[in-house]
Amino acid sequence: MFRFESVKHYHRLLESGAVTCTAVVEHYLKKISAAGRLNAFIHVYSEDALNRARQLDEKLKTGGAKTPGKLFGVIIAIKDVIAYKDHPLTASSKILQGFSSVYSATVVEKLLAADAIIIGSCNCDEFAMGSTNENSYYGKVLNAADETRVSGGSSGGSAVAVQADMCMLSLGSDTGGSVRQPADFCGLVGLKPTYGRISRYGLIAYASSFDQIGIFGKNAEDVAIALEVIAGPDENDSTASQKEVPPYYPQLRKDNGVKRIAYFKEALEHPALDSEIAEAINLQITSLREKGHTLTPVSFEYLDYIVPAYYILTTAEASSNLSRYDGVRYGYRSKQPVQELVEFYKNNRSEGFGKEVKRRIMLGTFVLSTGYYEAYYSKAQQVRRLLKEKTDKIFSEYDFIILPVSPSVAFKIGEKTADPIAMYLADIFTVFANLTGIPAISVPLFRHSSGMPFGLQLMAKPFDELSLLQMTDRLLKN
């Protein structure tokens, strides 16, 4: 019986002949079928995955894999907002039902070039808008640790796919915490890299100045290998950084000494934060001090402005990005008879978009409208600038910032759906990294009295993912 431990361990099994790529793909296809009730996958690429596995097995058998890719035979799932040529791409929305991508995202091309096997696309909140994966046209995703609870969002399907051993690694997207929060709810490592570290070409846009592709894994080593493969410049994405990609995995175990770590006192004393989560993080702070690290409380007076600024800016960008979905060239088209083009658009979009997407489009249109632009959008941009300046100042003195990931562990299905404001406020600790563009990671360290996993969030200065991964590895191994 195959059991996945890590990418490097899996590669040793392949090299020894103990397993084959084909047998491993068959194993995961059975796991996906058996866990169908979790609703993690929208589309499973069974034949594609098996054919690719056979090709890789043959390559290994005939000696063609003398220099195998870093992700040789690794089974990976992708969120249903990442384009894969000739495969369905719907953003979990009715408006894109039946649509197949005409090209592959840069990250997909890099995965395939590294000999990975893409096994399917994962369920998510519609157009990545949500914190629970309850907003999908294809239904909610269940948390494998407790099926009465949410998986987190918007990348809940990608998280559960790894959590329930339906793949080895998965990709999600993180606009305001959509990798880190489901990773926290599902007990995984979830990395949101620096804005621009990974190309967004082929990622369906929600809020273009916030979106970043992220990685789910069970350990820091596997996430480091995946990041090394998919990071880097891209001529198709002008926002992708030209900075050189470090050898993340080879440097992961280098002892980089004691660190200077800041934490926001206002965050750990916030009334919304679960007392057990606060206690666990405070104990971790004490433990890190005992190991020689310097941990200092830092006042952060802008905490209560973060969520409002985030939702003003992201909904404004979403209202623009989603205007392209009109039913003219592709996607859902209403069957209602119309006399005018405006009515045609209105019917397509009213019937094709879900409730939460329509809510955010309307909010974004409102904050951009005449008379409100200065009052809301411009003010939110000013807050974003202040946050960036404050963050730069903190990182001039400290290596990391520690924050909770979420105010609570995974909550019950349906618990917050009637109150969108409460849902939005649940993002209070994650949206900060997206507003400022810094890298952040969810580290699964703790278990709540409810039985649910949770962790802490580490943030670092831009393009210092290596330090984040090194510290994550140390925390998980202590």
Structure tokens at 19: 């397993």
**Residue 425 identity (one-letter amino acid):** L
CA–CA separation, 227 and 431 (whole Å): 21
Nearest to 160 by CA among 135, 174, 177, 179: 179
Pull the structure tokens for residue 195. 């804005």
Q: Please confirm whether the linkage preceding 467 is cis (ω < 30° from 0).
A: no
The first and second tokens of residue 299, run together, are 């006042």
CB 377 within 8 A of CB 312: yes
Q: Which of 178, 241, 406, 442 is catalytic?
A: 178
Of 79, 110, 192, 461, the catalytic one is: 79
- 191 Cα distance to chain centroid: 7
Report the C-alpha dihedral over residues 45, 46, 50, 56, rounded to 10 degrees. 20
**Structure-block tokens of residue 270:** 């916030």
| DSSP state at residue 93 | -
Q: List Cβ neighbours of 386 (8 Å cut-off, separation of 6 or more).
A: 302
Give the span between the Cα atoms of 351 and 99, in whole angstroms: 16
Q: Is residue 136 annotated as part of the catalytic site, yes or no? A: no
Question: Does residue 178 have an active-site annotation?
Answer: yes
Six-digit token pair at 279?
């206690």
Biggest CA pair distance of the chain? 73
> Which residue from 196, 238, 228 is spatially nearest to 438, judged by alpha carbons?
196
Residue pair 457/429 in contact by the 8 Å Cβ criterion: yes
Dihedral sign for Cα 110, 224, 11, 161, please.
negative
Both tokens of residue 458?
């580490």
Distances (CA, A) of 348 to 4, 231, 341, 406, 477: 45, 37, 11, 36, 52
Q: Could you say which of 101, 136, 154, 199 is catalytic?
A: 154
> How many Cα neighbours within 13 Å face the side chain of 79?
36
| Token couple for 236 | 């198709």
406 as an active site residue: the answer is no
Catalytic residue positions? 79, 154, 178
